[in-house]
Amino acid sequence: MEATSSKMRKTMRDLHNNIGFFIVGLVVIYSLSGIVQTYRDTSFLKHDINNEKTVETNLDAENLGKAIKIKELKVEKTENGIMYFKQGSYNPQTGEVKYTTSELYGWVKPFTELHKSNSKNIVHYFTIVFAVALFFMCVSAFWMFKPGTKLFSRGVILTVVGIIASIVLVLFS
């Protein structure tokens, strides 16, 4: 029985090692794109784009926001028939709207799309493989040390603390 357990531990250690090195690159990309996603409501790694277009005339702020895809658009003032908002201006008579948007630089955008993939996107296979590999790393970590040793016990305690911290984070966010 001990030989089987020892062989299983060695196999899991080898798999853990090889898969671990494989996912290092994935973790780097996901962590960097996660940081960008966290600051998506700021101008971090974004540049301004000036837009001019014609939309329907006589729109209110809510419908103008929908037409130019700006959430929670608020008119700050109306002067000489022109509506001014934080990002630009709108002429309700002509429908002409001039506004500025901030978009991620082109080289950053593909990385952030990884976080927003859904089952219709081909990238979702990549995210599923990554998730399964991470889950395997979590489970296989318990074969790195013999049960009953200080390192194993410490690993179990840290795992429980991590689970509790995640639950607390979800409950209070």
Domain that holds residue 76: 46-104
b/e code 25-41 from CB counts within 10 Å (16+ = b): ebeeebeebeebeeeee
pLDDT score of 3: 73
- Looking at the structure, tell me whether residues 134 and 59 fall in a common domain: no
* Whether residues 94 and 114 fall in one domain: no
pTM of the predicted model as reported, rounded to 2 decimal places: 0.63
Is 152 inside a domain boundary? no
Does 50 lie in the same domain as 96? Answer: yes
Mean pLDDT value across residues 98-112:
89
pLDDT of the residue at 37: 86
DSSP output for 89-144: EE-TTT-EEEEEEEEE-TTTHHHHHGGG--TTSTHHHHHHHHHHHHHHHHHHGGGS
One domain for residues 97 and 57: yes
Q: Are residues 60 and 96 in the same domain?
A: yes
Contact 51/68 with Cβ under 8 angstroms? Answer: yes
DSSP annotation of 40: T
pLDDT band at 2, cuts 50/70/90?
low
Q: Does residue 134 share a domain with residue 95? A: no
Q: Same domain for 92 and 112?
A: no
pLDDT at 113: 79
Do 14 and 35 lie in one domain? The reply is yes
| Tens-place pLDDT, residues 24-56 | 888 888 888 888 888 888 989 999 999 999 999
Asked whether residue 37 falls in the same domain as residue 116, the answer is yes
Q: Do 64 and 139 have their domain in common?
A: no
